[in-house]
Amino acid sequence: MMHYERQVQDPDNTFMAVRKFFSKNHILSNSIQNWQLWQFSACAIFCLWIVANPSTARANFQFCNQTLDVVNVAIGAYDTDAWETAGWWTVGPNQCANVIEDTLTSRYIYVYARDVFNASMLQGTTTMCVDPGEFRIRGREDCLIRGHISAQFHEVDTRRSERWTFFLRAGFE
């Protein structure tokens, strides 16, 4: 359900590969005509690279911390056949974290946020499981029996949107 890693191509390596290709095939020379051809080709390759790698702003569920506290965040959602929770993302004051990279498939995303003293930063009514360290848990029933901790998650209605940004503000209830 949730993808947490992303590969980003280095534009400098791409540019150097294009330049090497043109040099190897004797396309680069001192003539103005070949220089214009090289510029056009480099521009075309760069445009194709941009279209093929729609990278940077691809977050599909983003958590933004608009408080003055450092916040640890866990999320939960229903994934095809079971509930799943994952955490932790540490989000500094006035910063955002991309917590779900894939297109959202669930209408409701559940968020649990706590400060560095383990005090809850959100009021929630949906019980799900968390762990003290990094975790990914399937199922939300019987947290204590399964060796996890119960936490009250806040429900976020994404209105079936493919992308959503959640803003935690000071005094959020």
pLDDT over 70 for what percent of the chain? 65
pLDDT tens string 22-61: 666 665 544 555 656 666 666 666 656 555 655 445 558 9
Contact 151, 88 (CB under 8 A): no
pTM of the predicted protein model: 0.66
Within 8 A by CB and 6+ apart from 125, the residues are 152, 155
User: Looking at residue 7, what is its pLDDT?
Assistant: 40
Which residues make Cβ contacts (< 8 Å) with residue 37, sequence separation at least 6?
Answer: 27
pLDDT at position 79 is: 83
Tens digit of pLDDT for each residue in 5-23?
434 445 556 666 666 666 6
CA atoms of 12 and 153, how far apart (whole Å): 43
Tokens of 131: 């762990």
Which residues partner with 66 through β-bridges?
169
